[in-house]
Chain A
Amino acid sequence: MKRNWWKALTVVLLLYVAVAGLLMPVPRLAILNESIRNLYFHVPMWFGMTAILVASVYYSVRYLRTPTPALDIKAHEAARTGILMGCVGLATGSIWARFTWGAWWTNDPKLNGAAIAMLIYGAYLVLRSSFTDEQQRARVSAIYNIFAFAVAMPLFYILPRLTDSLHPGAGGNPAFARYDLDSDMRLVFYPAVIGWTLLAFWVAQLATRISVLKLKVYEKQIA
């Protein structure tokens, strides 16, 4: 329990988010209406994705310093979890866009940035699968992971602020905090961000354990 308290915290926080997020009072805003509750599910996905991708880059850097298979597996599984979070974020956002902006997909800089980020990590997975030698795969994909993150990711947080966007906080639109993220919503939103981010790390940890077990079974088979 000493080391796993954060998993209990995740469960408590996410149960709270599910119940309070659907039942607590929210401000009545035109167009958004009740769909504003999606804020507790859509926005934390991007926080979680960013956090887990930063973790992936961190493990890739550590792999380049001390190459061990465990670090490579951690970086890989963290990147895969990031893709999962990104897909869920795109799906929740797409549904939200359908009922507020009227279309499943709009030509919005944030949507395009998210799609490009998914393409980059898709390319990372393709790169991994085109090596036969494990050490070379680990090193080259770590290099690509760091390079892609450093080159492309900062701009997904800068570009939307420079151009017009339907999202709040860009192109002259006020951010959520300005007018409608009132104290009631903060009570749910901040726990939601923490809860979903912790969940991402939990998923990545479980996936890493499965991969390590598979590696061990494989080594036993060829031994």
Chain B
Amino acid sequence: MALLSEIWVLMQKDFRLEWRQRAALNGMLLYVSSTVFVCYLSFSLRGGQLPAPAWNALFWIVLLFSAINAVAKGFLQESRGRMLYYYTVVRPQAVILAKIAYNALLLLGLALVAFALYSLVLGNPVQNVPLFVGNVLLGAVGFAGTLTLVSGIAAKATNSSTLMAVLGFPLMVPMLLLLIKVSKNALDGLEFEASRNSLLTLVALNLIVGAVSYLLFPFLWRS
């Protein structure tokens, strides 16, 4: 139980920090909005609608880049002194799980904002909205899980911002393929049965990511 309360305290701290320095939060929201708007302008639609596969692919690419940017600062902003302080008061597992949970909530919020804006300017062809939102939720958790440990790894190296993308993108491809597949099913309004296998694979993948992060982070932390 102590682990859960530690996670809770760390998450509260992260949210409070985020709320106090709203520059970062507003920056992320603005990043998402301007990306969506650039997409809208570059297709220069005149009342028409993007074909569903293009709409889908573009949406996930927007989410992928926002996720990389939002999560990258997770460990980079933690100063060396503060990490040393955590080292003395909490266990490493609590740090990584709290970061993953916090990033997942953050990404979910960003993704929902992006979805709202995106459907506002580019139209909303989604026919099965609950499945789509559930899929976005799984995607946010998965992106957060994968990228949090990667950002921890990248923060240790010298050229972290390049490394973040180089290390993160290939790892996210399997997840992204599954997400795009399920989201295409939701767009076409297929029944739940059609995407059940992919959803189960996604849940399993999220569990693997969480478990491996939980096991590996204590080693990363030691330096």
A contacts, CB < 8 Å to B = 64, 112, 116, 119-120, 123, 126-127, 130-132, 135-136, 139-140, 142-144, 146-148, 150-152, 154-156, 158-159, 162
Shortest Cβ distance from residue B93 to the other chain A in the assembled complex, whole angstroms:
15
CB-CB nearest in chain A for B145: A151
Question: Across the interface, do A152 and B171 meet the contact criterion of CB distance under 8 Å?
Answer: yes
Inter-chain CA distance A126–B157, complex, in Å, is 10
Inter-chain CA distance A136–B153, complex, in Å, is 11
Shortest Cβ distance from residue A124 to the other chain B in the assembled complex, whole angstroms:
8
**Interface flag for B44 (CB, 8 Å):** no
Inter-chain CA distance A158–B208, complex, in Å, is 14
Inter-chain CA distance A130–B154, complex, in Å, is 10
User: Which of B17-25, B63-71, B72-80, B162-170 interfaces with chain A?
Assistant: B162-170
User: Which of B27-35, B82-90, B97-105, B215-223 interfaces with chain A?
Assistant: B215-223
Question: Across the interface, do B153 and A159 meet the contact criterion of CB distance under 8 Å?
Answer: no
Inter-chain CA distance A130–B163, complex, in Å, is 9
B contacts, CB < 8 Å to A = 146, 149-150, 153, 156-159, 163, 166-167, 169-171, 173-174, 177-178, 197-198, 201, 205, 208-209, 212-213, 216, 219-220, 222-223
Inter-chain CA distance A126–B169, complex, in Å, is 14
Inter-chain CA distance A106–B159, complex, in Å, is 34
CB-CB nearest in chain B for A120: B170
Q: Which residues of A sit under 8 angstroms from B158, Cβ to Cβ? A: 130-132
Q: Which residues of B sit under 8 angstroms from A147, Cβ to Cβ? A: 149-150, 153, 171, 212-213, 216
Question: Across the interface, do B171 and A127 meet the contact criterion of CB distance under 8 Å?
Answer: no
| B220: contacting residue among A140, A155, A156, CB under 8 A | A140
| B167: contacting residue among A127, A135, A154, CB under 8 A | A127
Question: Across the interface, do B174 and A152 meet the contact criterion of CB distance under 8 Å?
Answer: yes
Question: Across the interface, do A136 and B223 meet the contact criterion of CB distance under 8 Å?
Answer: yes
| A127: contacting residue among B153, B198, B219, CB under 8 A | B153
CB-CB nearest in chain B for A118: B170
Shortest Cβ distance from residue B60 to the other chain A in the assembled complex, whole angstroms:
16
| B216: contacting residue among A131, A143, A154, A162, CB under 8 A | A143
Inter-chain CA distance A125–B106, complex, in Å, is 31
Inter-chain CA distance A142–B212, complex, in Å, is 13
Shortest Cβ distance from residue A82 to the other chain B in the assembled complex, whole angstroms:
15
Question: Across the interface, do A126 and B166 meet the contact criterion of CB distance under 8 Å?
Answer: yes
Q: Which residues of A sit under 8 angstroms from B149, Cβ to Cβ? A: 143, 147
| B212: contacting residue among A116, A119, A130, A151, CB under 8 A | A151
Inter-chain CA distance A216–B177, complex, in Å, is 46
Question: Across the interface, do A123 and B209 meet the contact criterion of CB distance under 8 Å?
Answer: no
Question: Across the interface, do A159 and B170 meet the contact criterion of CB distance under 8 Å?
Answer: no
Q: Which residues of A sit under 8 angstroms from B157, Cβ to Cβ? A: 127, 130-131, 140
CB-CB nearest in chain B for A141: B153
Question: Across the interface, do B171 and A151 meet the contact criterion of CB distance under 8 Å?
Answer: yes
Q: Which 6 A-B pairs have the closest CB atoms?
A: A155-B174, A119-B170, A130-B157, A120-B170, A150-B212, A123-B166
